[in-house]
Amino acid sequence: MTNIVMIMTDQQRADSLGCMGNARARTPNIDALAARGALFHNHFTPHQICSPSRATLFTGELARHHGLTRNGVALPETQPMLSCDLRAAGYRTHGVGKFHFQPILAAAEHRMPDSNAFWDLPESRNWRGPFFGFDTVDILIGESVGATEGGHYARWLAERAPGAADLYAPENALTPGPDDMDEVWKSAIPEDLHYNTWITDRACDFLEQAGNDPFFLFVSYPDPHHPFSPPAPWCDLFDPADMPDPDVCPQELDAMPSYLLDGDREEASKSYVDYLRDPGPPREQGFLQTTRRISQGSLKQAIAHTYGMVSMIDAGVGRILDRIEALDLTADTLVVFTSDHGELLGDHGLIRKGPSPYRALLNVPLVVAGPGVTPGPRDGMTSHLDLRATLNAHLGLPEVQTDGRSFAAMLVDPQDQGPEAILAEYHPRTRAETYNQTLLTRDWRLTTYPLNVDWGEMFDLRNDPGEHRNLYFDAAYADMKQALIARLFQALPPAPEAGGQPIATY
């Protein structure tokens, strides 16, 4: 049986890798993995928010069906998942890092290991699983300053280096961050204590003691998610002056839904870092903000730090791949590298993420290398929705009935084009009218807002691949718009009320 190692990052754009054409990126290990595997140029997530995307990848179900439609909702523990399929097939299953299947701020009475409060309970002392189909886990919760409050990593750090958690804070940064962007700083936490290093160490430890039984190892890094605060030496790896300018056109947001400009008011009331420390009232997911109040220098510092975080992850990936090779497991191990969603990074004059499903948010990396995979690029469209069915088919596991469809044929045949269209859906936390649905084809991206007819997005990707000219209300494209809407609603009828009940802010 083929082993599986799935490596996931958080908030990483597809174009952040050297193998995807980024000449500035320093990702030699992921690039080498792509060189011996299938590199998917048009892989998308249906949900540009952490928990819904992760749950969809593992379940093969749209968020409206698995129930985790927004951060703050818990995935039902009885939900069938890829990890459950593999466990039932005789795999030893282990997960390391960020899962985010349950709300981080769920109260202790819910007894959810993915929440900080669980780790104050006596039962957490020796807990290692089982957890959503994983026999054992090493859990990390959150990212940056939020990663030291609960989970196995936070407990390890407190025991290994008492007081070191404070080194993540911006107040203790190696150098002060910019005045106009408080979530950009050089973290003072030493590299050997950083959570990315801890995740890599735990993954390598598992590989060492996995034995002869087939295994599924899930390795989940919480970076390059904002705040933009890598440790040394990664915070200094890239010169901000060498970073690319964001892809933005003057006044392009004037033709977009008006909420895109509203996030600045929330950001002015409480910054993201302050919100992490003291959440207060719920805010819309993604913390979308325009770059109007951010200097070009500060924005490029954030981009440089993002590149640094990606390079730090790449180094961890290299260590894992080296350990697989040293254990003589390469020929028997399928390696999957992906991310849950992307980041705007200044494109369109916006930063972070939010309701609008720009390509920078939906298009994520996907590399698959190992037994039965023909090396080479793949240009066809694929989705997280289809990964469970795809991996089961490629591994010869029993077929499962899900919303997804297998693209296993693409792993063998680089010329296979996969599905003709991809569906996406956004379920908001606080502003109901931002609920939206998307149909993405090779030529068009159409997004409707069923609760607000004054909003809509439509882009001609052949002539406007950067999604800068919104044609939704252009009379010359009315017939095309109606045809795409009909196609979207037939495949995905509006369901703004779908999903489980929120039990926490996030």
Burial class (CB in 10 A: 0-12, 13-18, 19+), 46: buried
- Closest Cα to residue 224, out of 343, 108, 109, 134? 343
| pLDDT the model gives residue 33 | 98
Neighbours of 355 (CB within 10 A): 27
Residue with tokens 């750090």: 157
pLDDT digits 0-9 by tens, 157-216:
999 999 999 999 999 999 989 999 999 999 999 999 999 999 999 999 999 999 889 999
Task: Fill in the amino acid letter for 280.
Answer: G
Say what the pTM is.
0.97
pLDDT digits 0-9 by tens, 84-137:
999 999 999 999 999 999 999 999 999 999 999 999 999 999 999 999 999 999
| pLDDT the model gives residue 279 | 81
pLDDT digits 0-9 by tens, 13-32:
999 999 999 999 999 999 99
Residue 272 has pLDDT above 90, yes or no: no
| pLDDT the model gives residue 212 | 85
pLDDT digits 0-9 by tens, 219-242:
999 999 999 999 999 999 999 999
Where is average pLDDT lowest: 107-116, 278-287, 443-452?
278-287
| pLDDT the model gives residue 296 | 95
Residues 470, 457 contacting (CB under 8 angstroms) = yes
Distance CA 316, CA 97 (A): 13
Distance CA 241, CA 227 (A): 20
> Residue 407: helix, strand or coil by DSSP?
coil
pLDDT digits 0-9 by tens, 456-477:
999 999 999 999 999 999 999 9
| pLDDT the model gives residue 45 | 98
Quote the DSSP letter at residue 134: B
Q: For residue 373, which phi and psi values (nearest 5 degrees)?
A: -100, 125
Q: Where does the pLDDT of residue 280 fall: very low under 50, low under 70, confident under 90, or very high at 90 and above?
A: confident
Quote the DSSP letter at residue 500: P
Indicate the domain borders of the chain.
Answer: 3-424
Residue 505 has pLDDT above 90, yes or no: no
Neighbours of 506 (CB within 10 A): 24
What letters, b where the CB count within 10 A reaches 16 and e where it falls short, cover 125-140? eebebebbbbbebbbb
Cβ-proximal residues to 479 (8 Å cutoff; 6+ apart), any chain: none
Fold of 3-424: Alkaline Phosphatase, subunit A (3.40.720)
Bridge partners of 350, per DSSP, are 290
Distance CA 38, CA 377 (A): 6
Residue 60 region by backbone torsions, left for phi larger than 0, else alpha for psi between -120 and 50, else beta: left
Helix (H) or strand (E) segment spanning residue 59: helix 50-59
Quote the DSSP letter at residue 131: B
% of the chain exceeding 90 in pLDDT: 93
Q: What is the dihedral of CA 123, 51, 97, 193, to 10 degrees?
A: -100
Where is average pLDDT lowest: 28-37, 147-156, 263-272?
263-272
Residue 361 has pLDDT above 90, yes or no: yes
Q: Where does the pLDDT of residue 281 fall: very low under 50, low under 70, confident under 90, or very high at 90 and above?
A: confident
Average pLDDT of the residues in 328-354: 98
Where is average pLDDT lowest: 4-13, 95-104, 287-296?
287-296
CA 30 to chain CA mean position, Å: 17
CA 347 to chain CA mean position, Å: 18
Q: For residue 425, which phi and psi values (nearest 5 degrees)?
A: -155, 140
> What is the Cα gyration radius of the chain?
21
| 370 token code pair | 């190992």
Helix (H) or strand (E) segment spanning residue 322: helix 296-326
| pLDDT the model gives residue 268 | 62
